[in-house]
Every structure is written in C-alpha cells, then in structure tokens.
Amino acid sequence: MSKIYNEYLRLKAKDPNKLYLFKSGKFYIFVGDDVDTINNYVVLKRTNFSNESQKCGFPESVLDDYLRVFKNHHLDIEVITEIIPINDDDSKLEKITNYLKRIKIDKITPLEAFKHLVRIKEIVDDEERS
C-alpha cells in the first residue's frame, strides 16, 4: 500500500467523519471512501489510486477555491501536506527523534506544528499501549 493510503487509514481510524485531502506532487487528492463522499458535493474525476482505492483531486493552484467550496458545504476537511513515516521497529525515543529529524521546522505554520505535536503524542500513546 502507498504511504498516502496508509496514512488515510490511520487518520480514518482516529476520526472517520473527517475528510482527508492529501498533497501529492502538484495536486491535492482524496482517496478511499472520501472519494465517494466528496463527489456528493463536488464532482471530481476519479481514477485508480491503487488496488485498494480510487482517487480524485485537483491542481494545487486551485486549493483555496476548493477549500472555500468545502467550507460553504460545511465539510470537515483536513489538508495533509506531508507524511512522515514511522519505523515500527524503533523504540519510542527513536521514533520521536526520527520523526523530529524529518520536520522542516523553518517551513511550517503554527497549525502544522500543532499537528506534529499531536502525531508525537500518538507515538507515545501507541508505545504505552504496546
């Protein structure tokens, strides 16, 4: 499975009501069941993303236009601009350290910084449950 689809599944397990919009190259895409949901409001061309899923999306240049449309429909959309993989074999400290090494701290917004903190908390919580 792709990194985007794995992240989609992880996020959906956490909040199945939210729609997740992923940055993929010069496009923003929806995957999985979010493709069906978003197409109830805005018709976007569907294509195969993987054996498990379809995708639909639009060029990055029109992101603000689409976000305005989604907001007008009262859709709960989270934009995912970067996926940082976590190696399950690492210890909790190694996972957090490796995660932090991949963050480009001089290029993130406060909201993105908060999302990174939430992800670090998830790493800690996952380790404590194990």
Show me where the domains of the chain are located.
3-80, 92-129
Give the pairing type, strands 46-48 and 54-59.
antiparallel
Chain segment 116-126, per-residue pLDDT in tens: 888 888 777 77
- Topology, domain 3-80: MutS, DNA mismatch repair protein, domain I (3.40.1170)
| Range 7-44 burial, b when 16+ CB lie within 10 A, else e | bbeebbeeeeeebbbbbbeeebbbbbebbeebeeeeeb
User: What's 62's DSSP letter?
Assistant: G
Chain segment 78-88, per-residue pLDDT in tens: 999 888 766 66
Phi, psi of 87 (to 5 degrees): -85, 115
| pLDDT recorded at residue 107 | 75
The H or E element that residue 126 is part of is: helix 110-129
This prediction's pTM? 0.72
Burial grade of 48 (CB within 10 A; 0-12, 13-18, 19 or more):
exposed
Residues belonging to the chain: 130
Chain segment 18-45, per-residue pLDDT in tens: 999 999 999 999 999 999 999 999 999 9
